[in-house]
A = this chain, B = another copy of it.
């Protein structure tokens, strides 16, 4: 805990505009932990004991239905807060959070929520903006699921991932964490089979290059056309 330095979070969106001194105070209340790949940070239904900031890594937020289907709500990238049930007046986490790669996570006890938001209104504002942005984002997905075909949704998902977490390589933009066909299907409401077929077709057309749990975006513009519903063929 004493290893934490204010510079760790100074340049991270939720803490923009907060004085260095206050950052140190905030950090002194936080715990830090490393989560290896595939480890669960919190589970759906569990009492919301803490809220979190992802310092490094990628986290997958997943909802599970009563009959076992999984739906990926979102991926969290480093610098984002998550598990903020407290900000929404929830007493339990509404989804699972799982490390998609090895992660470093800061956490604050939920009992500090009230104090922190009162004492650091900038942080509160930033957080509510985040919640708002996620609501927007989720609404967009509803519209997509309701109006677009699978092909478009998968294309959109890949473009979004590439923008959010893409790493430039010599071949193109590589999605920076292991992601399977099944993962993509759980983001887009389809099956791994359909995703596999689409990726194969796109690979033949030179739009992407993909392998086991790995996707590289080559021709973003062309994929964007598909996402927009181009019926070119």
Contacts and interface: CB of A to CB of B under 8 A. Distances in A.
A73 B132 contact: no
A141 B143 contact: no
Interface SS, A side: helix
Please indicate which of the listed interface residues A73, A129, A145, A229 has the most CB atoms of chain B within 10 Å of its own CB. A145
Contacts of A146: 69, 71, 145, 186, 188-189
Given A67-B229, A138-B138, A229-B67, A88 B143 contact: no
Contact of A89 (B129, B139, B188): B129
Contact of A128 (B89, B145, B188): B89
Contacts of A87: 128, 132
A139 to B, nearest CB: 6
Interface string A135-167: 110110111011100000000000000000000
A201 interface: no
Interface string A112-143: 00000000000001001101111110110111
Contact of A136 (B67, B94, B186, B188): B94
Contacts of A204: none
A181 interface: no
A26 B75 CA distance: 40
A143 B94 CA distance: 12
A88, A138, A142, A145, most chain B CB atoms within 10 A: A142
